[in-house]
Amino acid sequence: MGTLRRLVRGSVVVLVVLVAVVAAGALSGPGGIPWAVPVTVLPGAPPVPPPPPPPEKPRDRPTPEDDPRTTPIGVPLPPPPGGGTHAFTKLQDDGVTPVAYDPCKPVHYVLRPQGAPAGAEAIVHEAVARIAEVTGLRFVHDGYSDEPMAVDRPIFQPERYGDRWAPVLIGWHTEQEVPALAGDVVGQAGSAAVSLGSGPRVYVTGSVALDAPQLAPVLDRRDGRAVVAAIVLHELGHLVGLAHVEDAGQLMYPKVQEELTDLAAGDLAGLARLGAGPCVPQL
């Protein structure tokens, strides 16, 4: 496969900083409190301010859960002794902690079946299971979607997915559909991070675009399934927050190496940290 030379150099990360939630008292509903004692206004006193308006549902994000989980669902695999080379796509303001998915919430994903090569769906689920095993993040397959892949994909699409963050979208595409797959790029992946005020950033959704015309012929080869599976695993590494490294012994090396079909020590060390991010129940 002469065309299968390198993976996408960087992943697309859309950073969206949400405004802080305005605290609203539980008794601020319309009509006030019926048995409240009338307030006597003394001459010269400032007018009584009107009651605060009822809280509005935010329009740019899901309604927070009433009783969100505050402990991680799973536990990352212990990193290999000695670790290894890894890098993160985005760091918190401290400059060392990676931005990650919230380990207290499941990561939902949907597949876009249009254009998928035969046998490709099982490869995706297996790669997701491997990332889940290593990070401790829980992934939930929500079925299928015909949502088109877009660079500026909205992270909250209540009309399509309901009152929740849009699920991770994984699809097989041509470079006409996804220009980032032009040339010898075989995949593109990234996630969108949000924060509330000055709180930590967390990924809430993302996308993975795989180049169907380039990968389908590889799948047809006798040993091709493992190569494609490793490419999908590499892209899922980007999805959860790994960046490329210059160490050719790691799966996050930017070029496909057909003999390297699983995560290596540095990849595992990075993924263990990405599975130990903060929980942000308000998001």
Binding site residues, Zn ion, CB under 5 A = 7
Q: Which residues contact 99 (CB under 8 A, 6 or more apart)?
A: 88, 89, 90, 91, 92, 193, 200, 201, 202, 203, 241, 277
Q: Least distance from C-beta 253 to Zn ion, angstroms?
A: 8
Distance CA 240, CA 205 (A): 10
Select 7 or 268, whichever has its Cβ closest to Zn ion.
7
Select 123 or 194, whichever has its Cβ closest to Zn ion.
123
Select 102 or 211, whichever has its Cβ closest to Zn ion.
211
Q: Least distance from C-beta 222 to Zn ion, angstroms?
A: 25
Distance CA 276, CA 266 (A): 16
Select 69 or 90, whichever has its Cβ closest to Zn ion.
90
Select 87 or 276, whichever has its Cβ closest to Zn ion.
87
Q: Least distance from C-beta 242 to Zn ion, angstroms?
A: 9
Select 185 or 269, whichever has its Cβ closest to Zn ion.
185
Where b means 16+ CB within 10 Å and e means fewer, 203-228 reads: bbbbbbbbbbbbbbebbeeeebbbbb
Q: How far is CA 112 from the centre of its chain?
A: 16
Distance CA 251, CA 244 (A): 9
Residue nearest to Zn ion (CB): 7
Q: Which residue is it, tokens 């995560």?
A: 263
Q: Least distance from C-beta 76 to Zn ion, angstroms?
A: 21
Distance CA 120, CA 84 (A): 30
103 contacts 131 by C-beta, under 8 angstroms:
no
Q: Least distance from C-beta 217 to Zn ion, angstroms?
A: 20
Q: Least distance from C-beta 185 to Zn ion, angstroms?
A: 9
Q: Least distance from C-beta 254 to Zn ion, angstroms?
A: 5
Burial bucket for residue 82 (CB in 10 Å: 0-12, 13-18, 19+): exposed
Select 7 or 245, whichever has its Cβ closest to Zn ion.
7
Distance CA 228, CA 261 (A): 9
170 contacts 109 by C-beta, under 8 angstroms:
yes
